[in-house]
């Protein structure tokens, strides 16, 4: 990615943030939660076949108190995704992020090839059929403010030329089947806008381009049903701690009200106290504008109590540990999703965090008394300590495995059948069984023997013999 694209991504993240704040400001407290029920995608990066990440609860009995019922749906608050390095875990995160960004931004592309270039999908490239085929993305979800508690189904297919198919369906709480809101095929004759207002249909037909989604264009045209879809994707949060651009943005994003409101600062202090009691307060200082940026910049110092007096020692926030900085970066998103009941996607949650701190973070979502608005967390991790029947349901645990052809698959522990044909019991040691390879999705290890007999720099002669070593 070149500097231009880096800057564009930073700008896009910043713009999306302010749009989210506008949506949050205008939401009502009693609105139905924004919940993801199911995410399907196909032919994206290492996933050639269609895969399903399902957050609907099975009939399993463990931790039934955390299951959320909306309409006819029973939904889980969390999905933990495990797998070896390079197995494709991050591609699940990337697939959902791709879908969200395409919905939010595609109205800008029109027929401008250069703008669309960045958003062409990346299909599975290791066979000629998939490399030339379309990629598909689909979600089932609930929308805030829908007192009828409808379930929505939205998706699209896109290839290197643009959108080949798009659909939006809805189902009432008591209905068995979905009703079409709109459908779009690969030709002008395959366009059904019957579920949209009559006075908006002509505008859609005139302005719709090959690279543009109806949901995105309709939101721009202020069509309420389309705007609701766009806003659903926009209000969800993403944190990719393997992406330097996203990391940059997260590390510079301040919690809402942090600059001017001491109460907000105190909440952040209390948040830090859950894992580090040394930070007692913050001092925020506005940095003079250099004229190159229109955004206000601030210098933040963490205040630590001195051991020999009641005075405070000031340390620049940037000098704190990597784990502390990560928790600070997580706070604004955590604040938003918990307040508004949206979905938080995190790639590499365990990076630079102690397992106990990760456990505490997960319990925030799993405790119905804290997570009162039914926020959801979908995360990838290598932290096997969280693979516990004392923490997670079997249908909340997912694995990604890549075969010798480079094809990734996704499966749930709830659906896993062992070599004897038996399903996994809720009293098993998930961590132990995973590490010994019972569930798959672990690295295939070989001895790192390429350094065998290697000489250190500066050594003269051959490596010592066994006799020489004993001497």
Residue 51 token pair: 């895969």
Q: What is the pLDDT of residues 80-130, one digit of tens each?
A: 999 999 999 999 999 999 999 999 999 988 766 677 888 899 999 999 999
> Nearest to residue 236, comparing CAs of 33, 400, 8, 56?
33
Average of pLDDT values for 428-438?
Answer: 96
SS3 letters across the chain: CCHHHHHHHHHHHHHHHHHHHHHHHHCCCCCCCCCEEEEEEECECCECCCEEEECECCCCCCCHHHCEEECCEEECCEEEEEECCCCCHHHHHHHHHHHHHHHHHHHHCCCCHHHHHCCCCCCCCCCHHHHCCCEEEEEEECCCCCCCCCEEEEEEEECCCCEEEEEEEEECCCCCCCEEEEEECCCCCCEECCCCCHHHHHHHHHHCCCCCCHHHHHHHCCCHHHHHHHHHHHHCEEEECCCHHHHHHHHHCCCCCCCCCHHHHHHHHHHHHCCCCCEEEEEEEEECCCCCCCCCEEEEEEEEECCCCCCEEEEEHHHCCHHHHHHHHHHHHHHHHHHHCCEEEEECCCCCCCHHHHHHHHHHHHCCCCCCCCCEEEEECCCHHHCCCCCCCHHHEEEEEECCCCCEEEEECCCCECCCCCECCCCCCHHHHHHCCCCCCCCCCCCCCCCCCCCCCCCCCCCCCHHHHHC
Q: Which domains does the chain have, with CATH numbers?
A: 31-236+342-449 (3.40.50)
Residue 52 token pair: 């399903």
Q: Above 90 in pLDDT, residue 449?
A: no
Q: What percent of the chain has pLDDT over 70?
A: 85
pLDDT for 225 equals 94
Q: What is the pLDDT of residues 162-218, one digit of tens each?
A: 999 999 999 998 899 999 999 999 988 899 999 999 999 999 999 999 999 999 999
Predicted structure pTM score: 0.88
Which of 275 and 401 is assigned the larger pLDDT? 401
pLDDT for 418 equals 87
Q: Above 60 in pLDDT, residue 135?
A: yes
pLDDT band at 249, cuts 50/70/90? low
pLDDT for 23 equals 52
Say how far apart CA 344 and CA 38 lie, in whole Å.
Answer: 14
Q: Above 80 in pLDDT, residue 22?
A: no
Average of pLDDT values for 120-148?
Answer: 92
pLDDT band at 8, cuts 50/70/90? low
Q: What is the pLDDT of residues 303-335, one digit of tens each?
A: 999 999 989 999 998 888 888 888 888 999 999
pLDDT for 6 equals 45
pLDDT band at 241, cuts 50/70/90? confident
Q: What percent of the chain has pLDDT over 90?
A: 67
Say how far apart CA 240 and CA 247 lie, in whole Å.
Answer: 7
Taking CA 338 as the corner, what is the angle to CA 334 and CA 339, rounded to the nearest 5 degrees?
115
Which of 265 and 450 is assigned the larger pLDDT? 265
pLDDT for 111 equals 64
Cβ of 3: how many Cβ atoms within 10 Å? 7
pLDDT for 10 equals 47
pLDDT for 14 equals 46
Q: What is the mean pLDDT of the chain?
A: 88
pLDDT for 371 equals 95
Q: What is the pLDDT of residues 258-279, one digit of tens each?
A: 999 999 999 999 998 888 888 9
Average of pLDDT values for 64-81?
Answer: 95
pLDDT band at 149, cuts 50/70/90? confident
Which of 381 and 243 is assigned the larger pLDDT? 381
Say how far apart CA 63 and CA 395 lie, in whole Å.
Answer: 11
pLDDT for 251 equals 63
Residue 451 token pair: 């350094």
pLDDT for 51 equals 98
SS3 letters across 148-210: CCCEEEEEEEECCCCEEEEEEEEECCCCCCCEEEEEECCCCCCEECCCCCHHHHHHHHHHCCC
Q: Above 50 in pLDDT, residue 470?
A: no
Q: Above 60 in pLDDT, residue 366?
A: yes
Q: What is the pLDDT of residues 411-426, one digit of tens each?
A: 999 999 988 899 999 9
Say how far apart CA 414 and CA 433 lie, in whole Å.
Answer: 14
Q: Above 60 in pLDDT, residue 67?
A: yes
Which of 14 and 341 is assigned the larger pLDDT? 341
pLDDT band at 345, cuts 50/70/90? very high
pLDDT for 147 equals 78
């Amino acid at each position: 990615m070149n500097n231009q694209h880096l800057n564009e991504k930073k700008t896009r993240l910043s713009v999306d943030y302010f749009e989210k704040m506008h949506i949050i400001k205008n939401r009502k407290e009693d609105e139905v939660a924004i919940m993801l029920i199911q995410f399907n995608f196909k032919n994206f990066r290492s996933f050639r076949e269609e895969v399903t990440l399902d957050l609907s609860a099975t009939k399993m009995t463990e931790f039934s108190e955390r299951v959320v019922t909306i309409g006819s749906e029973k939904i889980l608050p969390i999905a933990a995704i495990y797998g070896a390095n390079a197995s494709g875990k991050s591609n699940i995160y990337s697939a959902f992020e791709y879908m969200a960004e395409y919905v939010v931004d595609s109205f800008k592309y029109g027929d401008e090839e250069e703008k669309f270039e960045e958003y062409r999908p990346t299909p599975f490239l290791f066979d000629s059929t998939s490399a030339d085929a379309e990629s598909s993305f689909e979600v089932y979800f609930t929308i805030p403010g829908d007192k009828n508690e409808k379930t929505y189904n939205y998706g699209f297919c896109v290839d290197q030329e643009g959108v080949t198919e798009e659909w939006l369906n809805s189902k009432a709480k008591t209905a068995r089947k979905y009703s079409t809101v709109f459908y779009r095929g690969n030709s002008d004759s395959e366009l059904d806008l019957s579920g949209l207002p009559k006075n908006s249909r002509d505008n859609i037909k005139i302005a719709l381009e090959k690279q543009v989604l109806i949901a995105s264009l309709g939101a721009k045209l202020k069509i309420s049903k389309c705007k609701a879809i766009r806003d659903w994707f926009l209000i969800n949060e993403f944190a990719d701690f393997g992406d330097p651009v996203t990391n940059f943005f997260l590390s510079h994003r301040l919690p809402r009200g942090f600059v001017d409101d001491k109460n907000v600062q105190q909440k952040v202090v209390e948040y830090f106290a859950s894992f580090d009691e040394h930070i007692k307060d913050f001092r925020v200082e506005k940095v003079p504008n250099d004229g190159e940026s229109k955004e206000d910049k601030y210098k933040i110092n963490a205040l630590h109590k001195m051991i020999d007096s009641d005075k405070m020692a000031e340390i620049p926030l940037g000098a704190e540990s990597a784990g502390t900085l990560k928790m600070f970066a997580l706070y604004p998103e955590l604040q938003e999703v918990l307040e508004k009941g949206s979905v938080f996607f995190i790639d590499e949650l365990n990076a630079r965090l102690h397992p106990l701190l990760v456990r505490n973070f997960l319990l925030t979502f799993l405790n119905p008394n804290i997570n009162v608005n039914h926020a959801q967390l979908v995360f990838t991790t290598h932290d096997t300590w969280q693979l516990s029947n004392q923490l997670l349901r079997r249908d909340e645990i997912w694995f990604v495995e890549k075969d010798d052809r480079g094809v990734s698959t996704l499966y749930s522990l709830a659906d896993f059948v062992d070599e004897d044909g038996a399903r996994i019991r809720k009293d098993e040691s998930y961590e132990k069984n995973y590490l010994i390879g019972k569930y798959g999705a672990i690295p295939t290890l070989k001895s790192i023997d390429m350094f065998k007999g290697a000489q250190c720099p500066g050594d003269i002669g051959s490596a010592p013999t066994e006799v020489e070593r004993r001497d």
